[in-house]
Amino acid sequence: MEPLLNISSFDDKLSFEFRGEFNLYTISSYEKQVLNVDFKFVKKVEVNLYKSKLFDTAAALFIEDLKKKMTSKGIKVDILCSNKDTLGTLKLVQNQNPHLLPIPKIEKQSFVYSVGKSAYSNYLGFISFMAFMGKLFATKMIYLKKLKNIRYKEIAFEINESAVRALGIVALTSFLIGLVVAYQSAFQLKIYGANIFIVDMLGISIFRELAPLITAIVIAGRSGSAFAAQIGAMKITQELDAMKTMGFDPYVFLVLPRIIALMIAMPILIFVSDMMGIIGGMVVSNISLHISVNMFLDRFGEVVAAKHFFVGIVKGPFFAFLIASIGIYRGMMVKDDTQSIGFNTTKSVVESIFAVIVCDAVFSIAFTNLGI
């Protein structure tokens, strides 16, 4: 039987007789007919479902919605039906009438609450990092106990990845830094006729501070972020869990080779940075201040003591340890989603650079007080 809706009226009473299929696929045709009806003088509506079939929940919702609209207008609605299944479906929809919950208002957090929450979060982060460092040092003591435990091949591979391949960018950055520092200083030194003192300034500042710091920042952005991304990706793909299941300690196979490699490579990178920074300053001194290469080198040998060079080199392993440790720790903190990799990689770079600057400040204060 084709779906059909007969609408008849008697005085103030209106009758809707549904025939044939009454379900999701036929509701639209019924709805158009109901919308065209004028309920202005109607006081009672009868919904006749005796001849309807294939009645589903969509049809029941349609009837329930029609009943609510009529009731809101003061019109009485009677449903005529003898089919148990149809009546059961209607009752089910009536019992499942949704109650809309009010949208909760977002309460503005107090300043004290925000500070306390942030402090507690930082405290938990600090405890987690200390636990990582404790595990790292405990593993390192066992790792270095016997020479056969040292994974030379992995360390050599990581030296190539984190140092050899970084030589170009470190050298170029240091050369440009030396160039810029010398150029800016040359302008001021010209005024007082103290051209030759640019050698003193460049030698001491580059050896002690600029070369180690610039190298550490470049490596933090390059290798530190790579460590975080690599370890994080391995955690997402459950490679770390697989290693533990097979009895391999990730600290021995992944963490320590990276840290040791970077600690070995960083002094070499700082040495390259020293040389390129001095060369950059030498170029500007020759062009802007007319200081020849021989004059520059003679003055350099007289005023720049070897201790300034070694001060910068000594900082290298400490910077490398901080960069590698923070990068790997952030990789370990990655959760099971790709967004977490980006978040922790970014944090590894920011935290590494901050840690390097703090460490450099501590070294500067200590060396100054010691007269070095």
What is the residue whose two structure tokens read 């392993």? 317
Q: Which fold has domain 4-95?
A: Transcription Regulator spoIIAA (3.30.750)
Q: Alpha-carbon distance 256 to 144, whole Å?
A: 10
**Secondary structure of 274-333 in the HEC alphabet?**
HHHHHHHHHHHHHHHCCCCHHHHHHHHHHHCCHHHHHHHHHHHHHHHHHHHHHHHHHHHC
Which residues touch 55 (CB under 8 Å, ≥6 apart)? 22, 23, 49, 83, 85, 86, 89
- Sequence-ordered alpha helix ranges (H) in the chain: 27-35, 57-72, 84-95, 111-143, 152-162, 167-192, 198-205, 211-219, 225-236, 239-245, 250, 256-288, 293-303, 306-332, 338-370
- For residues 77, 83, 89 and 95, what is the CA-based torsion angle, rounded to 10 degrees? 60
Residue by residue, pLDDT tens for the chain (372 residues) are: 556 777 777 777 888 888 887 777 778 877 777 777 777 777 788 888 888 887 888 888 888 888 888 888 777 888 888 888 888 888 877 776 555 556 666 677 788 888 888 899 888 888 988 888 888 888 877 777 777 777 888 889 988 988 888 899 999 999 999 999 888 888 788 777 777 888 888 888 999 889 999 999 999 998 889 899 988 888 888 888 888 888 888 888 888 888 989 999 999 999 999 999 999 989 988 888 888 889 888 888 888 888 889 999 999 999 999 999 999 999 888 887 778 888 889 999 999 999 999 999 999 899 888 888
pLDDT at 3: 65
CA 25, 26, 28, 29 dihedral sign is positive
pLDDT at 352: 92
With beta carbons less than 8 A apart as the criterion, state whether 19 and 49 touch: no
Kindly report whether the global pTM for this prediction surpasses the value 0.85. Answer: no
DSSP letter at 12 equals: T
pLDDT at 99: 55
166, 200, 184: which is closest to 304 by C-alpha?
200
Q: Residue 35 carries which side chain, given as an amino acid letter?
A: L
Q: Alpha-carbon distance 198 to 84, whole Å?
A: 101
pLDDT at 96: 67
> Domain map of the chain by residue range?
4-95, 151-370
Each residue of 222-232: b (16+ CB within 10 Å) or e? Answer: bbbbbbbbbbb
Which class for 51: exposed (0-12), middle (13-18), buried (19 or more C-beta within 10 A)? middle
What Å distances lie between residue 97 and 57, 94, 103, CA to CA? 12, 5, 19
pLDDT at 254: 84
